[in-house]
Amino acid sequence: MPDPSQKRYLILAEEFSQDPHYGKTLRGVLRYRRESVVAILDTSHAGEAMDGVPVVASVDEALPFAPDTALVGVVTQGGRFPADWRALLRACVERDLDLENGLHVRLTDDCDLVELARERGVELRDLREPPGDLSTATGANLDVDATIVLTVGSDCAIGKMTATCELDLEARRRGLRSVFVPTGQTGIAIAGWGISVDAVVSDFLAGAAERLVVEGGARGDLLWVEGQGAILHPIYSGVTLGLIHGSAPHLYVLCHEAGRTEVEGDATHSPIPGLAELVELHERLSLRLRPAKVACVALNTSALDENGARAAIDDAEAETGLPADDPVRFGAGKLLEAVLNHRG
């Protein structure tokens, strides 16, 4: 992979650039890696701009901005490409752009595309493809010479990755050797490294998480590990607990969306436990050799007005006895300080 900091991205967001859910990867990269994005492709919004980045209607229209890599910027139900994307992906390769993709479906499963990429001398990179040499955890996670902080949450899609990125950004602003450790496709696109842990064979889940913190420890001494799922999520809890034990955090940041009471995207409408109960359960589920405390609560208050947000934050503090804040709305300083106070 070329030096990720030097990449010039054309982000493919056909149909979805304005959709906060399906355009998740576009939005994450635009927010946390703005400097690498030279253009966005979405025919229906061509001629507009997002955060100052031009939106174009075709690969050819993007060429004047000199992209070197086209990144699939959407997530889709079922992880497949929208029906008409095949021509779009071929057009990118024909213009000598590397392709990066974080969907379940792999670029390298399309033999015609693989052949075309070989002819053009470009790379196809599937961000969800786990390393081929993963194995079970060894205990090396306990030897990492860094403070490890894991975001955990009450549900999926409540802002764990965002809280993780905000905390890392704020720590780096303050001059700390801070590292964002990505565990999902959007995080990997942002950071240029990582493992999509939900794509790993179950036996190697903790092993994959362990490898991430070992690698993170070589990059800095304050690691922010992106959490996945939730310990009581009916579908994804296994990923969550494997990540907890494999990444061996010293501290948790508990993420929650104010007002959410049911697991979303799950047909059973499973209720979400209270924050105080989640704090206790996470602490008790920590590795016995690495007892971890919840340092603070990161609250997503995007559905509330400012007064509502402040009230929700006060409620979370009263319920848990821990510092709480919305790191997007009010900055990550308070939460970062809560973590640093624990770190001693």
Rounded-to-integer distance, Cα 60 and Cα 66, Å: 10
Q: Smaller CB distance to its own copies: residue 112 or 288?
A: 288
Rounded-to-integer distance, Cα 342 and Cα 130, Å: 33
Q: Smaller CB distance to its own copies: residue 5 or 202?
A: 202
Q: Smaller CB distance to its own copies: residue 75 or 336?
A: 75
Rounded-to-integer distance, Cα 91 and Cα 98, Å: 11
* Site for its own copies contains 23 (CB under 8 A): no
Out of 116, 157, 276, 285, the only residue in the binding site for its own copies (CB under 8 A) is 285
* Site for its own copies contains 321 (CB under 8 A): no
Which positions ≥6 away from 303 have C-beta within 8 Å? 257, 258, 259
* Site for its own copies contains 273 (CB under 8 A): yes
Binding to its own copies in span 139-168, by CB under 8 A: 139, 142
* Site for its own copies contains 311 (CB under 8 A): no
* Site for its own copies contains 237 (CB under 8 A): yes
Rounded-to-integer distance, Cα 197 and Cα 205, Å: 6
- Tell the smallest beta-carbon distance from residue 60 to its own copies (Å): 37
Query: How, if at all, do strands 147-153 and 37-41 pair?
Result: unpaired
Task: State the Rg of the chain over Cα.
Answer: 20
- Tell the smallest beta-carbon distance from residue 201 to its own copies (Å): 6
Q: Measured between alpha carbons, how far is residue 303 from residues 94, 202, 227, 258, 312 in Å? A: 43, 35, 22, 8, 11
* Structure-block tokens of residue 260: 């959410």
Out of 47, 52, 289, 307, the only residue in the binding site for its own copies (CB under 8 A) is 289
Q: Which residues in this chain contact its own copies in the complex, by CB under 8 A? A: 136-139, 142, 197-203, 205-207, 231-246, 266-268, 270-271, 273, 281, 284-285, 287-289
